Each structure stands twice: as C-alpha cells, then as structure tokens.
Structure 1
Amino acid sequence: MYRIAIIPGDGIGKEVMESGEYLLDKLDLNFSFEYGEAGFECYNKNGVTLPEETIKIAKKSDATLFGASTSTPGQPSPIINLRKELDVYANLRPIKSYRGVRSISDNIDFLIVRENTEGLYSQIEYEQDNKVIAQRVITRRASEKIAKVAFEQCIAKQKQKVTCVHKSNVLKKTDGVFKESFYKIAENYPNIESNDFYVDATAMYLITQPQNFDVIVTSNLFGDILSDEGAGLVGGLGLAPSGNIGDDHGLFEPVHGSAPDIAGKGIANPCSMILTIAMMLDYLKEYEISNKINKAVENVVSAGKTLTPDLGGNSTTSELTKSIIDEILEGDY
C-alpha cells in the first residue's frame, strides 16, 4: 500500500484534487491518504501557511500530492517552503502538444528541469539604506546536481540534447557557476548533445522553434517563467503537470495556481492534476498505469468531445474527469 499525503490547498486546488482522488480510487492499486493543510485558508485558520503537522505528514509519506495555494500577503509561500523541507531539488515540468488543442506546433515534446532550492527563490530579502535587496544564491553543488538530473532524464526519455539556460553575460558570477557546472557534468555524458542559450533568447526560441528542444535545465526563477511560457505553447496551464523530486521524497503538483476567478464554478481543467498523478506513479515505479493515464488524457483531449472551457469546450471538471477515467478503464492499451 502506498501512503499518499494529500494537500488540497486553496481555490481550484481543492476541486482538481477531488478529481485526482477519484482517479486514484478507481485504479487497481492500494492507497492510503493522509490530509494536510496549507495556503491562504490555512493561514486564516491556523496563523501559518504551512503547519509543522503538514510537513510531518509529507515526510512520512511515499509521495505528496499538492493542489494549489493562494498567496498570503507578508507570508512565505507554502509550496516553496515544502519543497525545501523535503529537499526536492529537481522540478520536472514536461511540455507536450496534443492533437485537437491549439498550439504553436504539433510536435512539441520537451522537459524543463528547474533547480528548486535556491536562486532568487531562496527568499533572502532585506532592507538597507532605503533599498530592498534580494539575494540570488547559486551553488556549485546544487548546479551540478540539477545538471545530472537533466542528463539522466534525457536518457530516460530517450532524447538527444540537453540545453542549459542562463544569463551569464550579465549575472557573471552566479550564472557563471551554473553554466560551468553544467558543462562539467556534460563531460560524463559524451553521447548526449549539450548546448546553452541566454534566457531571453530561449524565450524567443520557444516561440519560433520549440520542436528543437529536448531537455532544458535552468535555475529556479528562469524555470518558473519558461515553464509557464511552455504551457502557453500547448494549450495552457490546464495541461501542465509537474513533479518535485529529491533523493528521499517526491512532491507532485499541477503547475497552475488557485485561480480564484473560476474557483467554485466547477470548470477547472483536471488534466494537469491527472497528468501530475501519472508523474507520481512513475516516481512510484508504476509505469504501466502511468502510461495508461497519459494515453487516456491524450485520447480524450484529442477527441474533443469533453473539454473544459479553457480548451474550447463547455464540459465541467467532473465530466472531463469521468471521461478520462472511463478511457483508462476501457481503453485497450
């Protein structure tokens, strides 16, 4: 039996989590769920955005599933802090185009590997002499670790190229370390092509030639921004899953936020959560079921009969969820 920590969070995080739990209940696997609180509503109730009890639940679980959280003014981000507590230093964000969904290109299929523990997201900020300063922390150790993950993911996904994204022409020391660390690790993978681009150029190339990317490895802030751009290439954040992987823990979350503008309307796209669950099952080495989920999402989305408004349809969250689950249970693959 797999022990799964469930942290619904705020807004549509709770709605898509219901879809995720419904899916997990239908699979031919044994799960036990333990629930934790986090986010804006949690802060209003408990005075903290991420209680110690939630951290304990996540640490003793086989994997953690997180919905979404609304930002709380003046308070730390619960998901950033949970990533740090679990030391899940690699954020994996796949970008894939689907038939029937409007996208820049029909053959987009790349992975963004984002360093998850430092950079500007170190949250080290302070005021000094009428200035507000944020420290950007980049270490050789973390840079080498994330580069290794990128090359290993390239092998696992049977890709040919890893691209390092940085801004070392301006951030000469911090991104200089990131770039140097990347090429140091690249020496251990002579059969994989390695190259690098500045982040501004990469932002343009994702629009003009997205099919030329296989695996992108980059720092925390750049990865956050580029992965949202990548989602925009293939139909939006409703199709954007992610996994946070470390040596001892796995934390999985859809890329989208809590979307308060549509929360409670029952129209949130559950595909990002469902694809995120497929990533979680990969992490748990349940590859056959993970592949079925990915294929079912692809088939249902491509058919175009049951789509939520963000994908051009008029179906509800529960209707799309049911269509995908029916495809998983009935599909011959």
Structure 2
Amino acid sequence: MLRNVVQKNIARTFATEASLPKKYGGRYDVTLIPGDGVGEEITKSVVDIFKAERVPVDWEVIKGDEREDVVDAAVASLKRNKVGLKGIFHTPNDIGKNSLNVALRKQLDIYASLTLIKNIPGVKTRMDGIDIALIRENTEGEYSGLEHQSVPGVVESLKIMTKYKSERIAKFAFDFALKNDRKKVTAVHKANIMKLGDGLFRTTVQDVGKEYQGIDVDTIIVDNASMQAVSRPQQFDVLVTPNLYGSILSNIGAALIGGPGLVPGANFGREHAIFEPGCRHVGLDISGKHVANPTAMILSSALMLRHLGLQENADRISAAVYEVIAEGKTTTQDIGGSATTEEFTKAVLDKLAA
C-alpha cells in the first residue's frame, strides 16, 4: 500500500488529560457535527467508511434548526464524549451573527489548531516537497470577538494577547515538533508594528524554545511569511501563529497542495479534541451538488482514530485514500477528475475491501 503521507505519530501525542471514555466492548462514543454547506456529504463518507471497516465508534449526531442550539448541544455532547468529528459552520457577515466555530472552541477552551499541509502523490502542483505543520492559537488575538462602536462611524476591535496563552500554544508546537521528529519551529508575528501584543507572542515562543534542545526556533513577520509560503514553502517545518495569521496561512497552504478538500486538521484542548478539515471552507456554492472532495474530512477522521489509539484502522483508511488519489481514476473535480463525492468514497471502500 502507498506509504501514509500524514504523520503517524500523532497517535495520542496530544491525548487529553482526562481519560478518553470507552463503552463496553471497547467502543468509543464520538460526537459528530456535520456543519453547514457540504458538511453532510463529506461526513457521510466517513460514516460509510467506518461502518464498512467496522471501526469501534458510535456516533452521537448533532443537528438542529436553531444555530445557537446546535452549539449548546455540541458542547454538551463533547463534554460527555471528549472527542468529536466536525464539519464547518458558515459564519454570515451580518452584524450580530457570531462565529459558531469560535464559540465552540472558546466554550470548551479548545486552544490549539493543527493543520497538516503536505503534497499528496497524484495531485499535480507547481511545487513539491511541501510538508508544513501549521499550529495556530484558537481562542484569542483578533478572534477574541470583542468589538464595539464607540460613536457612530467609529468601531473599536480589541486584540487580546496574553503570555499564558502564547506560552501554552508555544509549548504545544514544540511538543508536536519533538514527538513528530520535526526540527524547526517558526513563530509568525507582526511585532514590527504591534510591538506589545505580537512582541509578547514572538518573545514567548523564543523563550519556550530554549527549553527544547535539538529544535531550532525562528521568527518571521507575517507579510514575509506569506510571500515565502508561495515562493519557497519547503523552508518551513512547524509554524506557530496567532489566530488570524494562521487562518490566512492555512488557506495559502491549501492552495499550494491542491485545495481545501485535501487538508486535514485537528483542534485540541486540555480535555477535548475536535477533528475537522484544516482549511475551513464551508462549500456553500457546491452544497448538494455531490462534487465535494471528502479527502480532508476522511484524513481528519484518521487523525481522530490515531488520537483514540486505533492506529491500524487509521492506517488502512488513510492509505486507501492515498491510493485512490495516486491512481487518478476516481478523483473529484477540484483535483482534475470527474467523480462525485459518493464515487470517490466507493473507490476508497473498494480499496479497503480488496
């Protein structure tokens, strides 16, 4: 089988401090949040694959008509189950419509986002040799959501940066590097302008790096990081960023390797873990057309299985996905094929059954 191109050592690398609950018979309860857009279609691919592979996971599916009620139900479910698989919630531009993705992370203090940006054999790209682990802080910075209009026509948006949360995400990044044989951690910042806030982030990452022998620590201004990402991305190993910069760079990274349908991701807190596509595109424009690429969701579910200690299931499923893409016979439109979401999923199932 094609060698798995996603890190295998994520298995329990960031297992939650609370024990992962099991049902009798060695089965896991996992929260499933389809989300908006193509969420229903691509999470169905995972459900079908898990069923065919007899993966010991029982889904607690969270749906609802009222958006805020979905978040409340998801939080309650994740408090019980500790682990979830999630599609992306659409965030409207309307004033007063807050991001449900951010709300979920903040309520459960799911502070670390991990996005794996790596070339996949069979997907033609302009550059090869890309292998970036992008780690972003999930709960503060520009995503604090603290805005108000002081007088008509004047809006103040507060960017909150704390040493505690900067140190926490820095330690996460260096721990990831240490346990996954990564050699360099680069802090992305804008400290030349935001000398206090981003200066605190940059300095904290540098200080934490002194505790990790054998791992180089570097810093780069976000403007330059964006340029370097599209000109020489091979220079980057682990990137650690505040929230906004990570959001931008994850989209750049997705474009480099073939699109958002290929990028797996995960989010970790002290007691909870949520796995979702790393480039958070909802796909409203293709919802219901059955053309969405489920690769990112399937590979995110494989990361979840590794987190649960189900390494063999994770290896089989991810290897089958890579084989289908490498063959190029049944791929989706975003990477040059003509297969539907369901046809791609069936091709993966056929590989698993062979």
TM-score by length of 2: 0.88
Secondary structure in 1 matching 2:283: coil
Aligned residues: 324
Residue by residue, what CA displacement relative to the aligned partner does 1:261-283 show, whole Å, maximum 9, x if unpaired? 11111110000100110111122
Segments of structure 1 that go 5 or more residues without pairing to the other structure are: none
The within-5 A match list for 1:130-279 is 130-254=153-277, 255-279=279-303
Aligned Cα root-mean-square deviation (Å): 1.5
The within-5 A match list for 1:42-121 is 42=64, 45-46=65-66, 48=68, 50-72=70-92, 73=94, 74-121=96-143
Give me the whole-angstrom Cα distance separating, in 1, the residues matched to 2:131 and 2:314: 17
Residue by residue, what CA displacement relative to the aligned partner does 1:59-88 show, whole Å, maximum 9, x if unpaired? 111411111222233311111111112211
Per-residue deviation, 1:284: 1.2
Per-residue deviation, 1:299: 1.7
Checking the alignment, whether the CA contact within 8 Å between 2:190 and 2:221 is kept in structure 1 is yes
Residue by residue, what CA displacement relative to the aligned partner does 1:198-246 show, whole Å, maximum 9, x if unpaired? 0110111111111111110000000011011001000000101110011
Per-residue deviation, 1:102: 2.1
Question: Given residue 154 of structure 1, which amino acid in structure 2 is its aligned partner?
Answer: A
Checking the alignment, whether the CA contact within 8 Å between 1:89 and 1:244 is kept in structure 2 is yes
Equivalent residue, structure 1, for 2:45 = 19
Secondary structure in 1 matching 2:302: helix
TM-score by length of 1: 0.93
Give me the whole-angstrom Cα distance separating, in 2, the residues matched to 1:31 and 1:287: 14
Give me the whole-angstrom Cα distance separating, in 2, the residues matched to 1:217 and 1:256: 18
Checking the alignment, whether the CA contact within 8 Å between 2:82 and 2:271 is kept in structure 1 is no
Range with greater deviation from structure 2 (237-246 or 297-306): 297-306
Secondary structure in 2 matching 1:120: strand
Give me the whole-angstrom Cα distance separating, in 1, the residues matched to 2:67 and 2:187: 40
| Structure ranking higher on relative contact order (CA contacts 8 Å, 6+ apart) | 2
Structure 1 consecutive aligned stretches of length 4 or more whose deviation exceeds 3 Å: none
Give me the whole-angstrom Cα distance separating, in 2, the residues matched to 1:205 and 1:258: 27
Range with greater deviation from structure 2 (307-316 or 48-57): 48-57
Per-residue deviation, 1:47: 6.2
Question: Given residue 97 of structure 1, which amino acid in structure 2 is its aligned partner?
Answer: N
Secondary structure in 1 matching 2:81: coil
Secondary structure in 1 matching 2:286: coil
Equivalent residue, structure 2, for 1:10 = 36
Equivalent residue, structure 1, for 2:322 = 298
Residues 51 and 212 of structure 1: CA distance in aligned 2, closer, same or farther (over 3 Å): closer
